[in-house]
Structure 1
Amino acid sequence: MRQFGKLIIIGTIAGIALALFLKVIQILIGNQAYVLLFNFDYVPVIQDWEPQLLVGYLFHFITCIVSAVALFYLLRIIQREYLIAPYVLVYTVGGGILFSLTGLSEQPPAITDGAAWFYWTAAHAVFGLIVGGLIKNWK
């Protein structure tokens, strides 16, 4: 299979794992970090698209796929595309920063919810592990 197709599958698999991780946290602990995963009410234009549930899922998976593809090709420039650590680092730090977008929404979690930030950031570290691991092992 061509590399681009593999990256689309990898982004999808990692996106499913990211959502499942946060859904399990929501079910077991009650933390609402999962809600932010499909929230796009702060994005002009698409915030009004319907049905919102479907648009939320598409928004999530397109973001996962595009980020996996883009980071792979960026890392290829410096010949680091088959190392796991850069994926974990970028997605963990990036996820931690992206949590601040919850401040633009009235939906949970609150921007001051430290536990939600922790779960959100940990879930993105897992995303990075999966993306990096699958890329490394599916050459």
Structure 2
Amino acid sequence: MSDAVQHPSHSLKSSLPWLSGIITGIVSGVVLGLFLKAVQTLTGEKVYTLLLNIDFVPGLPPQLPEWIEFSLHLVVSVVIGIFYIWWIRRSGRPVRRGIFIGAASSLLYLPLSPLSSRVPDLNDAGAIFYWVVGHLLFGALLGLFGKYMHAKKRHQVHR
């Protein structure tokens, strides 16, 4: 009899990487947010404002308190973290996959920038640079978490 049949709760638990994905998403999302906030504070480039921007979401006021906007950002990061852990459990290569997700998420600059007058323009090279660096940092953190968890899983199997 297969392990999934004998232990259905174990099968469900291993199929959805909830806890590790949540932790990965929160930590990576907080670091991205802090990085972009520091960049905005030091340079004036409104990349943190862009990260938290919700002007385009129908039904929400154009601006909410920062902590609510940051919480919404973390919800997105947690969803990405869960997907990322699920993905690397099936395909490996945690660092490569993490950096890919970071690079891909940096492309959100293109559709988000024109949606608000409060954020940098599409042709703001400085903002684009910081945005991409921040998202590559986000991806690298995903990769480090994934590499650690992948190594931990292999270590547990070989005991």
48 and 17 in structure 1: CA distance in 2 versus 1, 3 angstrom threshold: same
Please give the secondary structure, in 2, of the residue aligned with 1:40.
coil
Q: Any idea what the Cα deviations from partners look like across 1:17-57, whole Å, max 9, x if unmatched? A: 00111112112222111111111111222x32884434311
| Unpaired stretches in structure 2, ≥5 consecutive residues | 1-13, 153-159
Question: Is 1:105 the counterpart of 2:116 in the alignment?
Answer: yes
Does the CA-based 8 Å contact 1:42-1:104 persist in structure 2?
yes
Q: Which moved more, 1:56-65 or 1:2-11?
A: 2-11
- What is the CA RMSD across the aligned residues, in angstroms? 2.0
Percent of aligned pairs sharing the same letter: 28
49 and 24 in structure 1: CA distance in 2 versus 1, 3 angstrom threshold: closer
Consecutive aligned runs of 4 or more in structure 1 exceeding 6 Å deviation:
none
Structure 1 distance, partners of 2:20, 2:85, is: 11
The amino acid of 2:87's aligned partner reads: L
Please give the secondary structure, in 1, of the residue aligned with 2:108.
helix
Structure 2 distance, partners of 1:52, 1:12, is: 19
Q: How does 1:90-129 map to 2 (within 5 A)?
A: 90-95=101-106, 97-100=107-110, 101-129=112-140
- Give the number of the structure with larger relative contact order, counting CA–CA contacts within 8 Å between residues 6 or more apart: 1
Please give the secondary structure, in 1, of the residue aligned with 2:55.
coil
Paired residue total:
134
Does the CA-based 8 Å contact 1:21-1:123 persist in structure 2?
yes
2:29 is aligned to 15
The amino acid of 1:136's aligned partner reads: K
Question: Is 1:33 the counterpart of 2:33 in the alignment?
Answer: no
| Higher Rg | 2
User: TM-score, normalized by length of structure 1?
Assistant: 0.85
Structure 1 distance, partners of 2:20, 2:84, is: 14
Does the CA-based 8 Å contact 1:49-1:55 persist in structure 2?
no
The amino acid of 2:116's aligned partner reads: S
The amino acid of 1:37's aligned partner reads: L
